[in-house]
Structure 1
Amino acid sequence: MKSGKKKVSPIGLNDITIVDDAKMRKAITAAALGNAMEWFDFGVYGFVAYVLGKVFFPGADPSVQMIAALATFSVPFLIRPLGGLFFGALGDKYGRQKVLAATIVIMSLSTTAIGLIPSYDSIGIWAPILLLLAKMAQGFSVGGEYTGASIFVAEYAPDRKRGFLGSWLDFGSIAGFVLGAGIVVMISAVIGEDQFQAWGWRLPFFLALPLGMLGLYLRNALEETPAFQQHVEKLEQGDREGLSGGPKVSFKEVATKHWRSLITCIGIVVATNVTYYMLLTYMPSYLSHNLHYSENRGVLIIIAIMVGMLFVQPLIGFISDKIGRRPFIIVGSIALFLLAIPAFMLIISGKIGLIFAGLLILAVVLNFFIGVMASTLPAMFPTHIRYSALAGAFNVSVLIAGLTPTLAAWLVETTNNLYMPAYYLMVVAAIGLATGLTMKETANKPLRGAAPAASNIEEAKELLEDLHDNIEQKIEDIDAQIAELEAKRKELVQQHPRID
């Protein structure tokens, strides 16, 4: 009879992954470019929402036009969880690289399609229907894009640099948003507002096609992540958990065994993305429609804010590798709760310097969240379910956050209270604070289910020493628990008359 015990070998230097710098740089570039294209569309869409309302919903009240255009932005978030489940299962079965190549193709084609849709005056009700279909195709592909990209970077990154390297993913997000907004301003300035509303708004969407082709080229040139390769090797050696025929862990089981990670993921994503969409998607319409501020001037202020965010983003990631991710979630949530109303007081003032200061406050708080999100989320789940579990939780959370522009616009219009967005952010801040206080720290630790990863052999030796120290500490803790249980057993035995 065979023994059921599995022999475990001591962990040595050969068990630590040494990350190839060239491959790592390619992985980060390819992942960030896809994310930049996703947010390029968000930037363009947010800044031309007022035009899209006139093109696709003519004849309606200006307030209704804006809400309808923003609703078209929000509705595709309903389809994102389906895309997340679909691409997540594929990513855990076939690998991260193949799925990311597919998502960027769908994203680029659907974004380009928006620029080709005729106006309502030309084809009637089919215009908004086609716009919605294009946005839903985007939503389906984006459902697997960000989570796949964050996992790709996290599984390539060394343990001690995961925060810094992961921060470049959202650097790509902000850069894409700045590029989209900047192109809108440039085209509008060159051809004039009338021509921009007539046909110029289509041009930014056409740029998604060459961006997508470049992203596809870069992603096809990549190798699979080291963590996933290790997982496949284990399966080939007889450990069939998780991959054969697709992930064998149901979402119900994930929710049972990893419910703490799911809740943490939802809290972080809601706090981050509500703030993101409030600042970068809703604020341009808020400034122009509700505060009657010049569209171009409002856009320029937000672009300047976002350029500043680009420089802060990697710094947050770098510091998080030193002090951890939790402090940024906690401090960012407290700051958002305390400063939301003061920030909107400055924005509502109507003075350009104070508007800039109010938006800057929200931007700095947002940096605290996005600077650590891409490195925090992938560390919550083991390798064989990481893509499917994270994609499901992330996209359900984004479904909530994606309603932010529409709900904020509706709340302001129905209550005539310009501070409603601030109250909205305060509720979200409470969610972020609860999440930060209860989450486990993930900085400087190996990904769950993966070997430790280092930049070089010297760092690998340090990681191995830290790992051995951690094992020794765990053994001492277990020994202490055993001694405590033995003492308790002895006490109970003494209380029983027939047990020696």
Structure 2
Amino acid sequence: MLKIKRKKVKPMGLNDVTIIDDSRLKKAITAAALGNAMEWFDFGVYGYVATVLGKVFFPNASPGIQIIAALATFSVPFIVRPIGGMFFGKLGDKYGRQQILAMTIILMTLSTFCIGLIPSYATIGIWAPILLLIAKMVQGFSVGGEYTGASIFVAEYSPDRKRGFMGSWLDFGSLVGFICGAGIVVILNAVLGQETFNEWGWRIPFFLALPLGLIGLYLRHALEETPAFQKHVESLEEGSKQGLSEGPSVPFKEVARKHWRNLISCIGIVITTNVAYYMLLTYVPSYLSHDLHYSENRGVMIIVVIMIAMLFVQPMMGLLSDKFGRRPFIIIGSLAMVLFSIPSFMLITHHSLVALFFGLLIQAIILNCLIGVMASTLPAMFPTEVRYSALASTYNISILVAGITPTLTAWLVEMTGNLYMPGWYLVVVGVIGVVTGVTMRETANKPLYGGTPAASSLEEAKELLQEHHDGIEQRIEDIDQQLEELKQKRSNLVDQHPNIDH
């Protein structure tokens, strides 16, 4: 009989459980969330000045085409994001998370700042939209490594039992950035007047990216590498460290073969969540002003109020997901998208401020269910050695679908004249989310894929270790049961053969 040599595995003890320092965790979350706020500050500003940008950079087009062109300039950089994701993902697995996050915030800051410097079409002609597109593509390249890197950074710093709550603060930063971007647009419109704002005032929000980015860079530069990545490096033998310096040792094809189920789940979550995100926070502002003829300030103010309410709900979703799991929120949010998207746009198009508010509120609650758990769910799907590269590549390829949402929706409404088209768009995407939520694996209250448990205190570490040992005992019992069943099946087969002895 063939004998298989079994490698001796050291039993897991209390020293193998990572105890997270609370002060470092808070710094990590603050630095990661600020960078994410910076990203969505630009998205917020861009979404709310899309009408103005259409006039500044595409003055010869009709108003409808101006909106589509401005939103297309927003969407085209998503083509570059997968390239940025693969580039920064490989570097993140090679050099660690902290250094890459410092690089991405520098690129984001400079590209956003440069948008404010670009002369109008009336001044330099066709070079104006070309330069705008270049700046947006640099943003897309940097953002390719930003969100995934930040979510991994927070996840690898978080205790297992609090990962949902801690991860929810990342998208809390997104909402804060969006609110600040929208709020600044409203204030500048009120102070400068629409004519002055259209002439040069729209540039001011983009200039503000520079000081915000410098603060974020300072905070990220002061951070230490994540405990999970440090433990991964320390666990490597000296000969393997050379392999680490050359990037992930596992080709992406091999990652796809081993983790295909998690890759599909990641794609479904990213598409569903970000389509809802871009629909509400990027497309709807121009939809309200261009298609429903609300004054820009009124539509913006309603959405800002709703987003402020979302801020209070966001951490609650993360906290509850630590108790009930991530899957229920993805399923509930996606199912609500299928059932309530058309009714919500019926309210939005009712030409009543009260109906508009409740229509947008429905979309906000749906979005909260999804973004409340995304940052804690995705990093837990892949092992440490390929986590950044696998997640960044998958995330940014998937987001190509979500990135065309504002442009495609605007085109569909323009071509069909159907104001409910955004709702139908969300219904289709919601089906993807429901299927994903039903088929995905639960990640709540478990160590990161292939990692050791992480706790917030010594007492919690002891509890996690006991749970880990209990889980092993249960799995051994399950295997023993399966062996007994196999032995019984073998015995039955042997009984049926005249020439085989027991």
Q: Are residues 266 and 477 of structure 1, via their aligned partners in 2, closer, same or farther at CA, if it must alter by over 3 Å?
A: same
What residue number does 1:193 align with? Answer: 194
Alpha-carbon offset, residue 85 of structure 1: 0.3
Aligned counterparts of 2:467 and 2:259: Cα–Cα separation in 1: 26
1:2-81 mapped onto 2 (5 Å cutoff): 5-81=6-82
Q: What SS is found at the alignment partner of 1:481?
A: helix
Q: How big is each residue's C-alpha offset from its partner over 1:30-63, in whole Å with a ceiling of 9 and x where there is no partner?
A: 0000000000000000000000000000021000
Alpha-carbon offset, residue 499 of structure 1: 2.0
Aligned counterparts of 1:249 and 1:375: Cα–Cα separation in 2: 24
Alpha-carbon offset, residue 385 of structure 1: 0.6
Moved over 4 A (4+): 237-242
Q: Does residue 246 of structure 2 align to residue 245 of structure 1? A: yes
Alpha-carbon offset, residue 241 of structure 1: 10
Q: How big is each residue's C-alpha offset from its partner over 1:429-467, in whole Å with a ceiling of 9 and x where there is no partner?
A: 000000000001000000012210000011111101111
Aligned counterparts of 1:242 and 1:266: Cα–Cα separation in 2: 29
Aligned counterparts of 1:11 and 1:371: Cα–Cα separation in 2: 32
8 A contact 1:34–1:212 mirrored in 2: yes
8 A contact 2:95–2:245 mirrored in 1: no
What residue number does 1:463 align with? Answer: 464
Aligned counterparts of 1:51 and 1:237: Cα–Cα separation in 2: 57
What residue number does 1:302 align with? Answer: 303
What residue number does 1:213 align with? Answer: 214
8 A contact 1:230–1:450 mirrored in 2: no
8 A contact 2:233–2:241 mirrored in 1: no
8 A contact 1:19–1:156 mirrored in 2: yes
Aligned counterparts of 2:314 and 2:462: Cα–Cα separation in 1: 30
Alpha-carbon offset, residue 238 of structure 1: 5.4
Match for 2:437: what amino acid?
A: G
Q: Are residues 359 and 105 of structure 1, via their aligned partners in 2, closer, same or farther at CA, if it must alter by over 3 Å?
A: same
Aligned counterparts of 1:326 and 1:240: Cα–Cα separation in 2: 37
8 A contact 1:242–1:249 mirrored in 2: no
Q: Are residues 498 and 244 of structure 1, via their aligned partners in 2, closer, same or farther at CA, if it must alter by over 3 Å?
A: farther
After superposition, the CA RMSD in angstroms is: 1.1
Alpha-carbon offset, residue 347 of structure 1: 0.4
What residue number does 1:226 align with? Answer: 227
Aligned counterparts of 2:263 and 2:473: Cα–Cα separation in 1: 30
Q: Does residue 156 of structure 2 align to residue 155 of structure 1? A: yes
Range that drifts further, 485-494 or 292-301: 485-494
8 A contact 2:384–2:450 mirrored in 1: yes
8 A contact 1:235–1:241 mirrored in 2: no
What residue number does 1:375 align with? Answer: 376
Alpha-carbon offset, residue 495 of structure 1: 2.2
Q: Does residue 107 of structure 2 align to residue 102 of structure 1? A: no
Alpha-carbon offset, residue 374 of structure 1: 0.2
Q: What SS is found at the alignment partner of 2:285?
A: helix
Q: What SS is found at the alignment partner of 1:286?
A: helix
Aligned counterparts of 1:247 and 1:17: Cα–Cα separation in 2: 23
Q: What SS is found at the alignment partner of 2:361?
A: helix
1:325-336 mapped onto 2 (5 Å cutoff): 325-336=326-337
TM-score, normalized by length of structure 1? 0.98
Aligned counterparts of 2:109 and 2:77: Cα–Cα separation in 1: 16
1:265-344 mapped onto 2 (5 Å cutoff): 265-344=266-345
8 A contact 2:412–2:421 mirrored in 1: yes
8 A contact 1:242–1:385 mirrored in 2: no
Match for 1:399: what amino acid?
A: L
Aligned counterparts of 1:238 and 1:497: Cα–Cα separation in 2: 55
Aligned counterparts of 1:23 and 1:413: Cα–Cα separation in 2: 50
Aligned counterparts of 1:441 and 1:479: Cα–Cα separation in 2: 25
Match for 2:119: what amino acid?
A: P
Q: How big is each residue's C-alpha offset from its partner over 1:322-344, in whole Å with a ceiling of 9 and x where there is no partner?
A: 00000001111111111111100
Aligned counterparts of 2:348 and 2:490: Cα–Cα separation in 1: 66
User: Please, which runs of 5 or more residues in structure 1 have no aligned partner?
Assistant: none
Match for 1:224: what amino acid?
A: E
Q: What SS is found at the alignment partner of 1:243?
A: helix
Match for 2:207: what amino acid?
A: F
What residue number does 1:497 align with? Answer: 498
Aligned counterparts of 1:241 and 1:108: Cα–Cα separation in 2: 33
What residue number does 1:263 align with? Answer: 264
Aligned counterparts of 2:470 and 2:178: Cα–Cα separation in 1: 44
Alpha-carbon offset, residue 497 of structure 1: 2.4
What residue number does 2:182 align with? Answer: 181
Aligned counterparts of 1:93 and 1:448: Cα–Cα separation in 2: 18
Alpha-carbon offset, residue 240 of structure 1: 6.0
Match for 1:233: what amino acid?
A: E
Q: What SS is found at the alignment partner of 1:440?
A: coil
What residue number does 1:397 align with? Answer: 398
Match for 1:12: what amino acid?
A: G
Aligned counterparts of 1:356 and 1:488: Cα–Cα separation in 2: 63
Alpha-carbon offset, residue 488 of structure 1: 1.4
Paired-residue identity, %: 71
Match for 1:113: what amino acid?
A: C
Alpha-carbon offset, residue 257 of structure 1: 1.1
8 A contact 1:74–1:405 mirrored in 2: yes
What residue number does 2:364 align with? Answer: 363
Aligned counterparts of 1:105 and 1:5: Cα–Cα separation in 2: 49
8 A contact 1:408–1:420 mirrored in 2: yes
User: Please, which runs of 5 or more residues in structure 2 have no aligned partner?
Assistant: none
Range that drifts further, 249-258 or 474-483: 249-258
Q: What SS is found at the alignment partner of 2:393?
A: helix
Aligned counterparts of 1:477 and 1:242: Cα–Cα separation in 2: 37
8 A contact 1:408–1:421 mirrored in 2: yes
**Count of aligned pairs:** 498
What residue number does 1:479 align with? Answer: 480
Q: What SS is found at the alignment partner of 1:199?
A: helix
Aligned counterparts of 1:113 and 1:35: Cα–Cα separation in 2: 19
Q: How big is each residue's C-alpha offset from its partner over 1:190-218, in whole Å with a ceiling of 9 and x where there is no partner?
A: 01100000000000000111111111111
Aligned counterparts of 2:414 and 2:464: Cα–Cα separation in 1: 56
Q: What SS is found at the alignment partner of 1:496?
A: coil
8 A contact 1:241–1:248 mirrored in 2: no
Aligned counterparts of 1:433 and 1:253: Cα–Cα separation in 2: 28
8 A contact 1:187–1:196 mirrored in 2: yes
Aligned counterparts of 2:356 and 2:331: Cα–Cα separation in 1: 26
Q: What SS is found at the alignment partner of 1:417?
A: coil
Alpha-carbon offset, residue 494 of structure 1: 2.1
Aligned counterparts of 1:251 and 1:68: Cα–Cα separation in 2: 35
Aligned counterparts of 2:237 and 2:210: Cα–Cα separation in 1: 39
Aligned counterparts of 1:241 and 1:71: Cα–Cα separation in 2: 43
8 A contact 2:47–2:282 mirrored in 1: yes
Aligned counterparts of 1:357 and 1:238: Cα–Cα separation in 2: 60
Match for 2:142: what amino acid?
A: S
